[in-house]
Amino acid sequence: MPTLALLRTVAFSARHHYGRSDRSPEWNRERFGDQRHPHGHDYRLEVKVEGTPDPETGFIVDLPRLDRLLDAVVSPLDDRDLNQAIPEIREGAMQPSTESLALWFWNRLAPKIPDGARLRRVRVWESDTLAGEVEG
CA distance 130 to 67: 24
Q: Tell me what pLDDT residue 116 has.
A: 85
State yes or no: pLDDT of 3 exceeds 80.
no
Q: What is the mean pLDDT of residues 14-18?
A: 98
Q: Tens digit of pLDDT for each residue in 71-125?
A: 999 999 999 999 999 999 999 999 999 999 999 999 999 999 988 899 999 999 9
Query: If you ran DSSP here, which 8-state letter would residue 86 be given?
Result: S
pTM for this entry = 0.94
State yes or no: pLDDT of 65 exceeds 90.
yes
Pairing of strands 80-81, 39-51: unpaired
Total domains in the chain come to: 1
CA distance 59 to 61: 5
For 59-114, list the strands marked E by DSSP.
80-81
Q: Tell me what pLDDT residue 50 has.
A: 97
Domain hosting 24: range is 4-135
For the chain, give the mean pLDDT.
96
Q: Find the CATH number of the domain harbouring 68.
A: 3.30.479.10
How many Å is the Cα radius of gyration of the chain? Answer: 17
CA distance 71 to 59: 20
CA distance 49 to 60: 8
